[in-house]
Structure 1
Amino acid sequence: MADTQQVDEAAAPADAHGERRAAKLAKQIGSFAAQHGGAEGQVAHLGRKGARIVLVGEDGEWGDLVAPTYDVAVAAVTKAGITVHEDFDGEFAAKVRTGPYEWSRMAGIQLGGRKNPA
């Protein structure tokens, strides 16, 4: 009897395009890490749109990238060699430094405050 296995073709960056995209994202992650004294990250599903890679630099600056699939995102952070967290909470979330823009934007959205200029 032959062994059978179901393969999810969208799950792995097995094609050349997925591998190239992961390499490009890894380069961007590496650049962010170099500019901010190192970086840590977290990968989150975005549904059909792919996955979001949230990066937090050692200096508290943060940014994010979007990958076409979750597996491409995981391949990118693996290639970049950064620490990856399961969740964005606790000590990891406490490393994020927010400024006046983020606070005013959050207050404007949540409390009906003044909107940020376009």
Structure 2
Amino acid sequence: MVMGVGAGMTLMPAMTAASRELPADRLAGASTALSINVQPAASAGTALLSVLLGAAGPDPAGFRLAYAVAAALLALALPAALRLPGGRGPSPAARQPAVSSVSAARGRVCRVWSALARR
């Protein structure tokens, strides 16, 4: 549970900051690319920490090592996080066309599903 709360508190702000400056027409592709990159990295980090804990057995030193490695990985990510663009980004009014295009796409998907359901 703690890990889920921590991931929610860090991943969403990072994704928001990374995509804040993008124009509305590139937002969907950037979100997909960012999600594709996050999944393997999270899996590799979890696997690395699992291997460290498994190799140490029930010894408390194994937990100390795993936490030290996790802290080192966080420290390595800090410079990249500090380089994320600052500022508040475009106003919500500037992103309004994205909402209308999403609504239009949703309408097309609904029409396709209804046509398929009638068959």
TM-score computed with the length of structure 2 as normaliser = 0.28
Where is the helix percentage greater, Structure 1 or Structure 2?
A: 2
TM-score computed with the length of structure 1 as normaliser = 0.28
Higher relative contact order (CA closer than 8 Å, sequence separation 6+): 2
Where is the strand percentage greater, Structure 1 or Structure 2?
A: 1
